[in-house]
Chains A and B, each alone.
Chain A
Amino acid sequence: MKGLPPVVITAIVLVAGFAACAVQFPNIASTRVVGNLLTDNAFLGIVATGMTFVIISGGIDLSVGSVIGFTTVFVALAVERWGVPPLVAFVAILALSAAFGAAMGAVIHVFDLPPFIVTLAGMFLARGASFLLSTESVPITAPVYSTVSDFALRMPGGGRLTAIAIIMLAIVIGGALLLHLTRFGANVYALGGNRATAGLMGVAVGKMTVKIYMLSSLLAGIAGIVFSFYTSAGYSLSAVGVELDSIAAVVIGGTLLTGGQGSVIGTILGVLIQGMIQTYINFDGTLSSWWTKIATGVLLFAFIALQQGLVALARRPAAKHAGAAS
């Protein structure tokens, strides 16, 4: 598999970190804590899966946090104020966010603009639009919400695997399969290797760019719905900065920020590492929750340094595998 060594390192960091936490707070090693970890980070896992595709393809998507925020407000208003059935509201917002992502991808490709700028514009646009809808937090009281929130699979040890955690796991698995087993996935790596070369080799670069950003925004929309389940409310200020958390998760998961290498599995491990640090801080009780950010920052530095090291190693003159002449 591509990018295996960094993923392995990420996995080791997660397991070692979890073991260290468990030594200090034996209660952490329970399915209850793990279940909560998955539930609390469900939206982040979903959005980071989309971000993985974008970053492997050599791009970036800064708009996802705003799309989540917009989604929560839109869903809340549609269900509570406009009287739209929740399922219809979900379909509408997913179509809207997919179209939004497709438009960003098209702009990036057609005008040959840096994804950073285009998705930055998308970030302001979506956040501004959510304020336009409502500046207040809108509680959601629809019966579907309480049904879904109450649903959970019991795990041995008393843990609860909630619906949104299941959705997240399904999306991560689906994303991994899409990335590693399909032609679409191969093209994502090709784009990240070199756009021009990929085009010369027959990859439809424009279509791929549109599809990749569409996927990212669509997953941000799903993450928004999940977030509205998680908080039972829609608020225009929700998920501020989540784009950065998800980029951090992707990079800690061993995906090369310059594109071409990475994996969805690594990303979910990166999400879980961030969640684990948060859990540790909650258990400790005396630490400020901002320590999560500090620890994430330190980890990011460590992983970027590690990747640079690996890249430098790879650039050294490769051993010549001279094939046998016929």
Chain B
Amino acid sequence: MENSLGSAPSLLEVRGISKSFGTVRALQEVDFTLRAGEIHALLGENGAGKSTLIKVVTGVFPRDAGVVRLAGEEVAPRSAKSALQAGIATVYQEVNLLPNLSVAQNLFLDRQPMRFGIVREGEMRRRAKALLTGFGLDIDVAAPLGNYSVAIQHVTAIARAVDLSARVLILDEPTASLDRHEVEILFGIMRQLARRGIGIVFVSHFLDQVYEISDRITVLRNGRLVGERETASLPRLELIRMMLGRELAETTSARAAAGEHRARGVCASFENYGKAGYVAPFNLELRHGEVVGLAGLLGSGRTETARLVFGAERADGGQARVEGAPVRLQSPRDGVRHGFGYCPEERKTEGIVAELSVRENIALALQAKRGLYRPLSRREQDEIARRYIKMLDIRPPDPERPVGLLSGGNQQKVLLARWLATSPRLLVLDEPTRGIDVGAHAEIIRLIRDLCDDGLSLLVISSELDEIVTYSDRVVVLRDRAHVEELAGGAIDVGNILAAIAADGAAVALEAHT
């Protein structure tokens, strides 16, 4: 096993995988190579295509193009079960085992030792015990799995997978809900399995852990392969750059240069606003007609900040003001009452109502604001729908079409229209360009600019640093659930943002996060 990794035979070869969902190209010609006995980190921001790649390789999604070879032989699993039979096992963050069954039953479900049609409970427990001892666990295997901690459930899932003769083990965010000690145990098991020649794919957004455990790193971005590097020779700044930015193109803010918005009045302000264990207290000021960008890695507190601002989460300290007057934001209702709007990142689950028509979706927030007793007449609804379909160029321009049938970009526009119809003073957009094709990106960005020219204030979260730089008047950089830097005017460029994210403190901060 100690021969150099570079010459180790490749165990899993993925070549030219593509996958589209409707018009969204989730993966484009992605290559991935896993060698026997290595721990290979698969990295990328939300929506980069990590999960899609895993699901395509394990047969959960059918692929559009490309081949997967396991030890040189082409495999095309049609389901997670057939992938498992081929020797590719996946353990997800939310453990896919049955908490109501005993640990032993979980390990041996559907393959229990039998005699005369009767499960040999004692034999099964003995084997379960022996198996788990190999993973450093000494627990009562007759107790229900649900009685044990997530860490033990993870190890049990891994033990089951490995015992099913897995040669490739994919661990999707296995450490997200583990404490430091449990992470150590898991890493010990991973190293031990790698020594036995099993190839391990490690998906995580904890960079410190990636540097601690992995031999090699593959980075995806927007469904494309950015590159494969050896962990030891990849500086952290370079890695973050791979994950977030294309090249360090010198895009500077077109708007910041004008600087005209400095003079305008404050729309909303937050002093020492925060919530323990959620986001550290921050100061934030939003002027009329200004775009403030929130930049940072996944889990850095961007969405958390947005939810506090909107009132979707209650702050436990600090003061919020709207137009200078102190206000209390305790629920989304309060947010809406003060003229705030929020387009969440999870469009499908938190935003649109797929079965309802474009018209109904647009009218939703306005109706909620007016209350049950002042219904919008059908004529008013038609009027509003027509106006926004025209203004935002929603296609096809059919107000009665169910929103679920629209493309991602147009769904996003419907969501925007919903909030615009309430004539808000502040709109919070969480990843407005996520999962939208590139053409629609530009359109959404143009819309963002037009909206602020009309005096609306915007707080925009995005992993697309190029985009943030293009439309923001100011950029707040977050790291480990705290606002660490605010860039304005000429200081806004991708390089400065990256430097702020990767600053020396990052290592310490990420460590604390685990």
Tell me the bound Cα distance from A308 to B241 in angstroms.
Answer: 50
Residue of A nearest to B60 (CB): A200
- Contact present for A322 and B146 (CB under 8 Å): no
- Contact present for A323 and B139 (CB under 8 Å): yes
Within 8 A of B (CB), among A187-218: 187, 189-190, 192-194, 197-203
- Contact present for A194 and B98 (CB under 8 Å): yes
Q: Which residues of A contact B101 (CB under 8 A)?
A: 186, 189-190, 193
- Contact present for B100 and A193 (CB under 8 Å): yes
CB of A298 within 8 Å of the partner chain: no
Residue among A186, A189, A192, A322 making CB contact with B182, cutoff 8 Å: A322
Q: Which residues of B contact A181 (CB under 8 A)?
A: 118-119, 121
Tell me the bound Cα distance from A199 to B105 in angstroms.
Answer: 15
> Which segment of A30-38, A65-73, A99-107, A313-321 sits at the interface?
A313-321
- Contact present for A186 and B118 (CB under 8 Å): no
- Contact present for A202 and B146 (CB under 8 Å): no
CB of B21 within 8 Å of the partner chain: no
Are A324 and B136 also in contact (CB < 8 A) when A182-B118, A201-B109, A202-B81 are? yes
Q: Which residues of B contact A194 (CB under 8 A)?
A: 98
- Contact present for B139 and A318 (CB under 8 Å): no
Within 8 A of B (CB), among A170-193: 181-183, 186-187, 189-190, 192-193
Q: Which residues of B contact A314 (CB under 8 A)?
A: 146-147
- Contact present for B96 and A190 (CB under 8 Å): no
Tell me the bound Cα distance from A182 to B110 in angstroms.
Answer: 10
Residue of B nearest to A201 (CB): B109
Within 8 A of A (CB), among B177-206: 181-182, 184-185, 188, 192
Residue among B98, B182, B184, B188 making CB contact with A190, cutoff 8 Å: B98
- Contact present for B97 and A321 (CB under 8 Å): no
Residue of A nearest to B108 (CB): A186
Are A193 and B139 also in contact (CB < 8 A) when A183-B110, A318-B149, A322-B181 are? no
Q: Report the minimal beta-carbon distance from B194 to chain A, rounded to whole angstroms.
A: 15
Tell me the bound Cα distance from A322 to B184 in angstroms.
Answer: 12
Q: Which residues of A contact B149 (CB under 8 A)?
A: 318, 320-322
Are A318 and B146 also in contact (CB < 8 A) when A189-B101, A323-B185 are? yes
CB of A325 within 8 Å of the partner chain: yes
Are A201 and B100 also in contact (CB < 8 A) when A182-B119, A326-B136 are? no
Residue among B97, B111, B152 making CB contact with A323, cutoff 8 Å: B152
- Contact present for B109 and A326 (CB under 8 Å): no
Are A203 and B110 also in contact (CB < 8 A) when A186-B101, A261-B100 are? yes
Tell me the bound Cα distance from A109 to B118 in angstroms.
Answer: 27
How many chain B residues touch A (CB < 8 A): the figure is 42
Residue of A nearest to B133 (CB): A326
Q: Report the minimal beta-carbon distance from B119 to chain A, rounded to whole angstroms.
A: 6
- Contact present for A200 and B96 (CB under 8 Å): yes
Q: Which residues of B contact A2 (CB under 8 A)?
A: 100, 102, 144
Residue of B nearest to A199 (CB): B81
- Contact present for B118 and A193 (CB under 8 Å): no
Q: Which residues of B contact A321 (CB under 8 A)?
A: 139, 147-149, 152
Residue of B nearest to A317 (CB): B149
Q: Which residues of B contact A197 (CB under 8 A)?
A: 96-98
CB of A6 within 8 Å of the partner chain: no
Q: Which residues of B contact A200 (CB under 8 A)?
A: 80-81, 96
Q: Report the minimal beta-carbon distance from B208 to chain A, rounded to whole angstroms.
A: 20
CB of B56 within 8 Å of the partner chain: no
Q: Which residues of B contact A320 (CB under 8 A)?
A: 149, 151
Are A190 and B152 also in contact (CB < 8 A) when A322-B181, A322-B182, A325-B136 are? no
Q: Report the minimal beta-carbon distance from A165 to chain B, rounded to whole angstroms.
A: 27
CB of A59 within 8 Å of the partner chain: no
Residue of A nearest to B121 (CB): A181
CB of A260 within 8 Å of the partner chain: yes
- Contact present for A186 and B185 (CB under 8 Å): no
Tell me the bound Cα distance from A285 to B184 in angstroms.
Answer: 70
- Contact present for B117 and A182 (CB under 8 Å): yes
Q: Which residues of A contact B507 (CB under 8 A)?
A: none
Q: Which residues of B contact A202 (CB under 8 A)?
A: 81, 84, 109-111
CB of B327 within 8 Å of the partner chain: no
Q: Annotate B81-98 by CB proximity to A: 1 below 8 A, 0 otherwise.
A: 100100000000000111
Q: Annotate A283-326 by CB proximity to B: 1 below 8 A, 0 otherwise.
A: 00000000000000000000000000000001000101111111
Tell me the bound Cα distance from A182 to B81 in angstroms.
Answer: 22
Q: Which of B100, B135, B152 has the most CB of A within 10 A?
A: B100
Residue among B109, B135, B137, B146 making CB contact with A186, cutoff 8 Å: B109
- Contact present for A323 and B100 (CB under 8 Å): no
Ordered nearest first, which 7 A-B pairs have the shortest CB separation?
A: A193-B98, A323-B137, A326-B136, A260-B100, A202-B110, A193-B100, A320-B149
Contact surface of B with A, Cβ cutoff 8 Å? 80-81, 84, 96-102, 105-106, 109-112, 114, 117-119, 121, 132, 135-139, 144, 146-149, 151-152, 155, 160, 181-182, 184-185, 188, 192
Contact surface of A with B, Cβ cutoff 8 Å? 2, 181-183, 186-187, 189-190, 192-194, 197-203, 260-261, 314, 318, 320-326
- Please name 30 pairs of A and B residues whose Cβ atoms are closer than 8 Å in the assembled complex, sorted by A: A181-B118, A183-B112, A183-B119, A186-B112, A189-B98, A190-B105, A192-B100, A193-B99, A193-B101, A198-B98, A198-B109, A201-B109, A201-B160, A202-B81, A202-B111, A203-B109, A260-B100, A318-B147, A318-B148, A320-B149, A321-B148, A322-B151, A322-B181, A323-B138, A323-B139, A324-B136, A324-B138, A325-B184, A325-B188, A326-B136
